[in-house]
Amino acid sequence: MSRFSTIFEYATWGALCLSLVGLFYTPYNPMEQDFRNLAFSSASFSHWFGIDGLGRDFGSRLWRGSGNTAAMALMALSLNFIIASFLLFIEQSGPRFLRRVIPLGIGIWVAVPVLFIGLVMMVFLKPSAGTLIIAVSLGNVPLAFRQLRILWIEQRNALYVLATEILGAGRRHLLAYTLWPNLRPDLMGLAKLILAICVLELSGLAFLGLIGDPDFPELGAILRQNQAYLFRNPMLVAWPGLILSTLLLLVHLSKSRSY
Amino acid sequence: MSVIIAAASQIFMLTGCSRIDESGKTPDTFVFARGSDAQKLDPADIDDGESVNTLAQICEGLVRFKSGTLDIQPWLARSYTISKDGLTYTFELREGVRFHDGTPLNAETALFTFERQLDTTHPAHFLKASFQYWKNLFQEIKTVRATGPMTIEFKLSEPNASILYSLATFPAWLISPLAFESHGEAIVRRPIGTGPYRFVDWKPNQAIILEKNQDYWGSEAGFERLVMRTIPDNTVRLLELKAGKIHALDGLQPAELAELFDNKQFTIHAQPGMNVGYMAFSNYAARLRSPAIRHAIAMAIDRKAIVDLALDGFAIVAEYPIPPGFLGEPDNSQPPIVHDPDAARKILNEHPDLLKRPIELHTFTAPRPYFPDPLKIASLIRNDLENVNLKVEIITRDFKSHLVAARRGNFELALLGWSGDNGDPDNFLATFFASWAAVEDSATNISFYKNKAMDNLLIAGRQQTDINQRQKTYEQALVIWARDLPLIPLIHTEQIVVTRSEVTGFQLQRTANLFFGPVGWQSL
Amino acid sequence: MIATKQEHKFNALLIELAHKGVMLLLVFFIASAVIFTAVNLVPGDPVSLRLKNPDPERVAAIRAELGLDEPLINQYFHYITSFVRGNWGDSLITGQTVREEIGEYFPATLELALLALFLGVILGLGAAFSAQWFKSGLWRNTALGLGALGLTVPIFWLGFLFIVVGSLWLGWFPSGGRFDFTLPIPQGSGFLIFDSLAAGRLDMLRVTFQHLALPVCCLSLYPAALVCGVLQARFSDPRLHTLLRALRAKGLSESRIWLIHILRLLGAAVITVVGTNFGALLGGAVLTESVFSWPGMGRYLVEAVLNRDLFVVENGLLLIILLAYLIISTADLLAFLSNPTVRRHSDSAS
């Protein structure tokens, strides 16, 4: 239903923007443990989500956390697409030798689970948000590469493209007016998929404790820090999970095709 | 959709019904769950708590600590004598004791345990085993031999008052030589001891199954079988306890215990452990070398808040680098470090160069017995230091990588800790402050603190046999520590074990060993 | 002589197989080199890091015994030759042979992953097909939403939810582990389902399934989401509808169309997406194993990396990568077999 899907699409953009706002503004400082004496108190008028176990306003942590999750996932997605497109570009227009080697490398790369890449990177580099972003984006490059390649080859060799070429369209025109509009919906679909995977993997790795700063507000890391409070104040665990799920659900439900 | 499910589950969790078996029958299997599996079952080559606690049901030593204390009582040896010069220890073995494979306990069979650690050419001196405790605790033992059918004698090269205590610890627990003859290196996975339970099977990362030793020389074990299960996730372990599937557990975070406090079905056993968690200054970090700065930093940290917020009260503030009640603890009531952020700020304001770069505080992710949540503790410390106008950067690594940096002194501030082995102050103070413990890549003196006066005191303390002399020696060592402050002791974490309230006879030990031999069941 | 279509297909298959075989060798060498380099670049010595209070002399003796003092090139050759021979060394932590330990943990993960994969594919197919059947938008979106659960909800959070609902609240399922200890564990292959059946013990089988239920459901949602997504994309492709019209015009019955033609077409897509994401499934398995205390390879390897258990990491990781590669190649081959046109459009990445 295109009516619903456009609503969802707007809602998704809205949710992402709202999360990103959390990077710049939150009602309280999400890192300051100002309310230690109020720790674990539940929702109140001045603290909509209560206080967490270390005396910080939980709502601010959640907001900043969503912002960080969204920002990190978007960065991982961009890095991922950039690397995959770059590899694809080399493979398509580079020398013969690279055309054999790159698919070879991808073939090996695809067999390594992201989790292990993250683990190994953590042992080498300092565990930090940046390391996680790199690990997650690199880990998903084979997936992006394969899908982009399929899309590109399908479209590039389509009849209407060849026809446009024969009609004398230049390379730029081909790219901008013929290929891009048809690639865009599929690219958006792929982007959504990879964004979802990135968010989940980032939270998963943060949950396993691979993020450097213990207080870094990221939804998976918050979940990990609050897991110990599951019985004392279950909302401390429920909210990060709910926000994550809602964000991803919105992303998923927003359609990108126009038919 | 997921929102609805989640909300529903939260409601159900809060009203959750647990499934305790209320039939009142004594179960014939006692199930204990911990967060990770044992690594090996060779008493001479382990050092993780899970392996030790598994062997605690299977093996016994010549002597042991009286339950709940650090006093020695004869056990497999029915009596012992120490020569006047402190160089000869003689043990008379108890009659009528058999190992689980039927081997009788006598001088010859008892020697096996010690000879294999002492003699590097012994066939059971496995080349890949570290035997680190022998080197660490028993290095003064020169020879061990049988001087009668039921008598063995240890000769030391130098007097060491703590040897008797060390003989009560796990590296000295006796295992059967016949087992080695029959199974060779496999004894590492199939221990044969003399204890109240015998080994049956080991399903790696799932459970170790033990059964009652019918021929036990002491009082009979309370259950037919004892299963030690591995449940890595704390929340799940707690759920199993509440569901009645397990009878006892350990390794929970203090925060997770809150809802068991008022629950009559469970008993929380907690007592301060023989450990200390501390923050060390590295001698290689030039800008933090001055004792004035170190004292200022020590005054800035609110250790009470760490106990309350990071450990929910299940710890005590550590005034000294040794646990309370240890020999050498000064009896004056004036603690060497007080919490005074204003004084700290004043001192630190005179050192503006400290603000040029943030100070690096190194911590790690995995829970340890002395720091159940090292990340949270680092976080609280950072807050405290920022309160006195310092800038702190927390560097987190996995535990082993952290250990690499620590053992090289590659840090400015680092969190670490130590669990005691034998109840002797030397086991803490020499570990932390002796210059011979400051060797790169194997250091336990991670501050790389080297002080001749301290070294002399530590050597003297080891060799003196008179208890009052040792008390004075260690008091003096602590004075030097308080002056130079190579590390700031933070907390002594409590050991926490939760059992069903029907469980009787369970007592926490100072050594943190868990003994289930005396444990029984009494319906409520 | 002109080759028949069957022979063409057979030849193409042989070429593919040969291609994959060469790739497998390449994967072996490159992966082992990368792992070996990584393991040796990491600072710190695994032997002394194991110990609370290491004695430098003893550590040096143990290192010599393990061959860690030899030049790196020798160590690398020893590593790959002993891997191939099946001599995978001993764990530094437990002293058991890596082979024995993997033999314990691997069937556990395989049982979990395969069942989850199977269930996931069925769930994904179900969600996608029912979305096609429902005409109303609300039901369609619900089916698709449920189908996408694996990509919207973090697996560790979901695991807790399952435990709370299935174990604490309903009490139908245990909250973790692979088996109960009130019954003796079925011995044999390590796959408890087969072993219980072989022993003829239905009570063991029941306990096995009880323990498998929650983790399998939890893990299956991820492949379900992938399958549902890829099928949904295919269903939205107008060419599919054109094909449907053509087949209907040809006079074939609905069931014949769906079960034979469409299934074959979609089968390739499903196999490819599932095979390609096997690595991610393993990642999900690690998290699932953590939450459900499942004694599997995922947790085993993660702990080995964190504990610097040298030989486990070297051989275990290599094994996993080779296995993942084999599975992906098999998926590619199956896709190729069921629909040769896939070859032209898919990448030649493997």
Angle of helix C297-306 relative to helix C278-291, nearest 10 degrees, comes to: 80
Q: Which domains does chain A carry?
A: 3-23+55-254 (1.10.3720.10)
**H/E element, A151:** helix A141-156
- What are the residues whose beta carbons fall under 8 Å from the beta carbon of B29, sequence distance 6 or more? B223, B224, B225, B226, B227, C181, C182
Residues C13 and C50 in one domain: yes
Name the residue facing C153 among B2, B129, B204 (closest C-beta). B2
Specify the pTM.
0.82
Number of alpha carbons in the 13 Å side-chain half-sphere of residue C264: 10
Residues C117 and C259 in one domain: yes
> What is the residue-level pLDDT of chain C in tens, covering all 350 positions?
666 777 777 788 888 888 888 888 888 998 899 889 888 888 888 888 888 888 888 899 899 988 888 999 999 999 999 999 989 988 988 888 899 889 888 889 989 999 999 999 998 888 888 877 776 777 777 777 777 788 888 888 888 888 878 877 787 888 777 877 667 777 777 788 888 888 888 888 888 888 899 999 999 998 998 888 888 878 877 888 888 888 888 888 877 777 777 777 787 778 878 877 787 788 888 888 877 888 888 888 888 888 889 999 999 989 888 888 888 788 777 777 766 554 444 443 33
Rounded to 5, what percent of chain B is helix, strand, coil? 35, 20, 45
Q: Which DSSP string corresponds to B277-306?
A: EEEEEPTT-GGG--HHHHHHHHHH--HHHI
**A214 with B375: Cβ contact below 8 A:** yes
Residue C294 placed within a domain: no
Residues C137 and C218 in one domain: yes
Residues C139 and C236 in one domain: yes
Distance of CA B59 to the CA centre of its chain: 18
Our CA dihedral for B493, B370, B174, B465, rounded to 10 degrees, sits at -70
Residue C125 tokens read as 């197919």
Distance in Å, alpha carbon of C293 to nearest chain A alpha carbon? 14
Residues C109 and C39 in one domain: no
Residue C272 placed within a domain: no
Residue C30: its chain A contacts at CB < 8 A? Answer: 108
Residue C273 placed within a domain: no
pLDDT digits (tens, 9 = 90+) for B469-516: 999 999 999 999 999 999 999 999 999 999 999 999 999 999 989 999
Question: 């033609």: which residue's tokens?
Answer: C261
Distance in Å, alpha carbon of A85 to nearest chain B alpha carbon? 33
Closest CA to B279 of B426, B432, B172, B459: B432
Domain boundary among C264, C295, C318: C264
Distance in Å, alpha carbon of A216 to nearest chain B alpha carbon? 10
Residue A245: its chain B contacts at CB < 8 A? Answer: 2-3, 6
Closest CA to C323 of C281, C271, C264, C265: C281
Check residue C347 and give its pLDDT: 40
Check residue B115 and give its pLDDT: 93
**A228 with B234: Cβ contact below 8 A:** yes
**Biggest CA pair distance of chain C:** 84
Interface mutation vs chain A, best among C141, C152, C320, most A CBs within 10 Å: C152
Residue A203: its chain C contacts at CB < 8 A? Answer: 154
Task: State phi, psi for A16 to the nearest 5 degrees.
Answer: -60, -45
Question: Are A118 and A139 contacting, i.e. CB atoms less than 8 angstroms apart?
Answer: yes
Q: List Cα–Cα distances, C113 to A108, A131, B134, C216, C324, in angstroms.
A: 21, 28, 44, 8, 12
Q: Is B63 helix (H, G, I), strand (E, B) or coil?
A: strand
Question: Are A8 and C145 contacting, i.e. CB atoms less than 8 angstroms apart?
Answer: no
**Residue positions counted in chain A:** 259
Residue C344 placed within a domain: yes
Residues C189 and C212 in one domain: yes
Residues C258 and C112 in one domain: yes
Task: State phi, psi for B155 to the nearest 5 degrees.
Answer: -115, 130
Name the residue facing C48 among B227, B366, B441 (closest C-beta). B441
Residues C86 and C8 in one domain: yes
* Rounded Cα gap, residues C171 and C218, in angstroms: 17
A244 in contact with chain B, both atoms CB, cutoff 8 A: no
**C154 with A207: Cβ contact below 8 A:** yes
Residues C260 and C208 in one domain: yes
Residue C225 placed within a domain: yes
- What are the residues whose beta carbons fall under 8 Å from the beta carbon of A109, sequence distance 6 or more? A141, A142
DSSP letter (8 states) at residue C96: S
Domain boundary among C229, C248, C264: C264
Region of residue A191 (phi > 0: left; psi between -120 and 50: alpha; otherwise: beta): alpha
- What are the residues whose beta carbons fall under 8 Å from the beta carbon of B356, sequence distance 6 or more? none
Angle of helix C155-162 relative to helix A180-207, nearest 10 degrees, comes to: 60
* Rounded Cα gap, residues B103 and B97, in angstroms: 9
Region of residue B251 (phi > 0: left; psi between -120 and 50: alpha; otherwise: beta): left
* Rounded Cα gap, residues A185 and C64, in angstroms: 60
Question: Are A62 and A50 contacting, i.e. CB atoms less than 8 angstroms apart?
Answer: no
Mean pLDDT, residues A195-211: 81
Q: Please state the domain count of chain C.
A: 2
Residue C205 placed within a domain: yes
Distance of CA C119 to the CA centre of its chain: 13
Residues C199 and C146 in one domain: yes
Distance in Å, alpha carbon of C20 to nearest chain B alpha carbon? 36
C31 in contact with chain A, both atoms CB, cutoff 8 A: yes
Distance of CA A238 to the CA centre of its chain: 21
Residues C85 and C125 in one domain: no
* Rounded Cα gap, residues A200 and C151, in angstroms: 8
ipTM > 0.85?
A: no
Name the residue facing C154 among A143, A193, A204 (closest C-beta). A204
Strands B359-364 and B413-419: parallel
Is residue A259 scored above 60 in pLDDT?
A: no
* Rounded Cα gap, residues A221 and A236, in angstroms: 12
Residue C105: its chain B contacts at CB < 8 A? Answer: 204-205
**B259 with A231: Cβ contact below 8 A:** yes
Residue B368 tokens read as 């340890």
Residues of chain B with pLDDT under 70: 1-24
Interface mutation vs chain C, best among B206, B365, B432, B446, most C CBs within 10 Å: B206
Question: Are B412 and B281 contacting, i.e. CB atoms less than 8 angstroms apart?
Answer: yes
Which chains does A contact via 3+ CB–CB distances below 8 A? B, C
Residue C160 tokens read as 């807790």
C187-226 as b/e, with b when 16 or more CB fall inside 10 Å? eeebbbbbbbbeeebeebbebbeebbbbbbbbbbbbbbbb
Q: List Cα–Cα distances, A11 to A70, A77, A161, A186, B252, in angstroms.
A: 15, 20, 34, 20, 41
Distance in Å, alpha carbon of C31 to nearest chain B alpha carbon? 23
Most confident of the following: A25-34, A64-73, B181-190, B403-412: B403-412
Q: Give the residue numbers spanning the domain of C79.
A: 1-93+307-350
Residues C54 and C88 in one domain: yes
Residue C302 placed within a domain: no
Which chains does B contact via 3+ CB–CB distances below 8 A? A, C
Check residue B192 and give its pLDDT: 95
A34 in contact with chain B, both atoms CB, cutoff 8 A: no
